[in-house]
A and B are shown apart, each in its own frame.
Chain A
Amino acid sequence: MKQQLERILQSVQKPARYIGGEYNEIIKDKAKVNLRFAFCFPDTYEIGMSNLGLHILYGALNDVPDVWCERAFAPWGDMEEEMRRSGVPLYALESGDPISSFDIIGFSLGYEMAYTNVLNMLDLADIPIRAADRKELLPIVFAGGTSCVNPEPMSDFFDLFAIGEGEELDLDIVNLLKIAKSEGWDKQQFLAEAAKIPGVYVPSLYDVSYNEDGTLNSVLAIEDAPKVVTKRIIEDLESSYFPSKTIVPSTEIVHDRVSLELFRGCIRGCRFCQAGYVYRPVRRRSPDFLLKKAKEALSDSGYEEITLSSLSTSDYKGLNELCDNLIDWCEPRKVSLSLPSLRADNFSMELMAKVQKVRRSGLTFAPEAGSQRLRDVINKNVREEELLESCRVAFEGGWNSLKLYFMLGLPTETDEDVLAIGELVNKVLDTWRTHAKNRSRGVRIHVSTSCFVPKPHTPFQWESQIEMEEYSRRVKLLRDNMKSRSISYSWHEPDVSFVEAVLSRGDRRVGRAIEEAWRMGGKLDSWSEYFSFDRWTSAFDKCGLDMRFYACRERKTDEILPWDIVSVGVSKSYLESEKKNAYDGIITPDCREMCTGCGADALLLRGKCDE
């Protein structure tokens, strides 16, 4: 195989992503390990290697002496074609061994558009794609990651799902499989035992029935499987595994830098944001701990950039202290610091001046909605004055380029709200005219809109997505009313968002359509070169499923939802009250102002968030 591979690598684009051998890659002696884990990322190397979760779990699993975790990514189309033609199966980058020879295969599911890649990678590995067609104990094929908060659309393909944070959960699964292997269990026995691990969902242990109107009638657990699977979390982020020695790719990837995770969870409660709900409760690391880890990671990797990662960096208690200390260390070493996810409200001149000391990066704000009314509906508590104040500070500080992100199609949105985006952007432009440090250089305001996708486990999980034609109409309305030469407007096409909406709130039947879409050639759907809307509609038609049933249907709050099987800690009644608040335009204060009782604190043994 090695020689076959060498041959095909000569003829494909960017062969460096298929060779492994990077600095800090972990090689173990096959003879000395008891369990081999293939960490499969269902997208390209450049995307997968940019994923912090991959580095954490790779390190945590390889910390176990008798486990060897290796990596595999989705090959680009040219490579896949050559692999299939030469009979080279999907292989792990570390050993070059075929994935089919591994004991356990774990997929990281971060976004719905990667679903077809899972099937394509399994097929390329010569592994039956459906769980029911894999009769033997090995390999166990499972998934973890954010998309698993609604596991149902992919439940035909995985033996089990790991719901929540994987640092400890993956090890529990691996340890059970070691026992199963040594005692010669069959697959059924293993799955029944695995279902007892908190956070494990085994779809084959549930019977699902539907009503005539297509909604769920019942989901019944067979045997002792839990009625609801509650996600796992790491309570103490400082004693859990931290990736200081990570693989440094030899070729360019998307996020080619040290990523320092400040905290998990978010205090804000923006009602459209799935991450804001499913990563609760808020747990933080201390500035001292982070500074120490940042120095270790930078020294070890040789990276020239570090980014602070979290859902809302400005909400990190101790951000100033951490930034000061980081800059003191980074500046003489020519390491630059970037701060993504800054809120437009408490953005300070001081912080901005700090981060641009070594290299200046771009500036992005996400007001999400144009009018204050709609921002209240979605609980994005950024006031116009705050945004304009942040812009003033930025322009006075010499910035002359700014990105602004909005969503169209949020619940209750009217044309007035759409036009308010244009008005807000014009006010930003006025702010630049009044406060620009150097007006002769001009200014670029990049405005971008996407079509809102209602997501499971959010207060908007019952909402209908707007029709694609309606989204396009609102795009045109905004475009016609935002004509300055300093503004560039780009919008995401609604067809991808529509498919995303279908897949994210799908039930088990949607799996058939995903399989059909893959059989019709679907893969790499998050890449515009590969995405085909017609293929998705044909696949659903062929399976007799109505995509609009999943995307554009308002659900009643008493409807059984496919993802009710999963609890992320936030109660359904809380989401329902948040939905009501949204329609009443009532703001919910952030978690620091007061606890509004979402329920996620019950996941903590010590019972208090954000300590």
Chain B
Amino acid sequence: MNRLLMRKTGDAKFLSHLDLMRTMQRAFVRTGLKIKHTQGFNPHPYMSFALPLSVGVESLCELMDFELDEPLELACIPDSLNKKLPDGLFAVSAYKAENKFKNIKWLDIFCELYYDVGVPECAAAKIQNIFSKSAVVEKRTKRGTAQIDIFPLINAVKIECATEKMLSIYARISAQEPSLNPGLLIAAVNKYEKSLTPDFTKMERREIYDADLKVFR
């Protein structure tokens, strides 16, 4: 199996998972690279992404598996792809994959919380406090809503007042089984410290790891 490491930043964060799949399929066709298709009545290129990203979240570490119909120097794929991608999508490297997606366990998420009138006093300490013990928030599921405790799903968290108007949360959270939607970190802030509800939030996925906290590629 071949793997592509790519970034999804800027306005491209507004593309949905399906948008991204379709865009990558077409980008491969544009490069002239022959990607393997599924068999059957409705053949489509075989490709699969690790950890689908929520709309509105940027990422520096998207992984996509694909198969080619012809043997090819993988190293030249990112360059050819980058000429054919829309704004905000960038292929970093392509290589033979040795590790299965199911071995991904943790991911780093970087959140920027913006306060139009300035970061409230002691905000960093208060937020740190929320994440240092059990915190139950409402999660939307396919069958309505559920209450989940996010505390066990957080491996580490670091909070900083980055600028006068922005506070950052750097959190290492569970990537799958179960996954933690990073939006729930903000939901916890809104629930437990209402006065710290930000006016605007940005999120970026920074890195992914296996169970031993080794960077996953």
Contact = CB atoms under 8 A, between A and B. Distances in A.
B179 to A, nearest CB: 21
Given A16-B14, A16-B19, A21-B11, A302 B27 contact: yes
A19 B55 CA distance: 13
A16 B27 CA distance: 18
A15 B41 contact: no
A304 B29 contact: yes
Contacts of B25: 302, 304
A221 interface: no
A248 interface: yes
A334 B26 contact: no
A10 B27 CA distance: 26
Nearest to A11: B56
A396 interface: no
Interface stretch (B79-87, B101-109, B187-195, B205-213): B79-87
A252 B26 CA distance: 13
A300 B29 CA distance: 8
A7 B18 CA distance: 23
A7 B200 contact: yes
Interface string A399-412: 00000000000000
Contacts of A19: 11, 14
Contact of B55 (A15, A299, A358): A15
Interface of B: 10-12, 14-16, 18-19, 22-23, 25-30, 32, 37, 41-45, 55-56, 84-88, 200-201
A359 B41 contact: yes
B14 A302 contact: no
B54 to A, nearest CB: 11
Given A10-B200, A250-B86, A15 B14 contact: yes
Given A23-B30, A358-B43, A360-B41, 11 more contacts: A7-B200, A15-B14, A21-B88, A23-B23, A23-B84, A25-B87, A250-B86, A251-B15, A301-B30, A304-B29, A334-B45
A289 to B, nearest CB: 23
A15 B32 CA distance: 30
Given A10-B200, A15-B55, A23-B86, A299 B16 contact: no
Nearest to A24: B86
Contact of B85 (A23, A252, A301): A23
Given A21-B87, A251-B16, A334-B43, A10 B22 contact: no
Contacts of A185: none
Task: Place the interface of chain A in its size category.
Answer: 20 to 34
14 contacts: A9-B14, A15-B55, A15-B56, A19-B11, A21-B87, A21-B88, A23-B86, A248-B86, A250-B15, A252-B19, A299-B30, A299-B32, A302-B30, A334-B44
A15 to B, nearest CB: 4
Contact of B18 (A248, A252, A334): A252
Contacts of B43: 334, 358-359
A22 interface: yes
A303 interface: yes
A250 B10 CA distance: 14
B85 A302 contact: no
Interface string A1-21: 000000101100001101111
A302 B19 CA distance: 14
A319 to B, nearest CB: 25
A302 B29 contact: yes
Contacts of A334: 37, 43-45
Nearest to B85: A23
In the A-B complex, the 4 residue pairs with the closest CB atoms: A302-B26, A21-B87, A302-B29, A19-B11
Nearest to A358: B43
Contact of B23 (A18, A250, A359): A250
Contacts of A7: 200
Contacts of B11: 19-21
Nearest to A256: B22
A10 B56 contact: yes
A10 B111 CA distance: 14
A7 B116 CA distance: 12
Contacts of A299: 29-30, 32
Interface in A324-375: 333-334, 358-360
Nearest to A27: B87
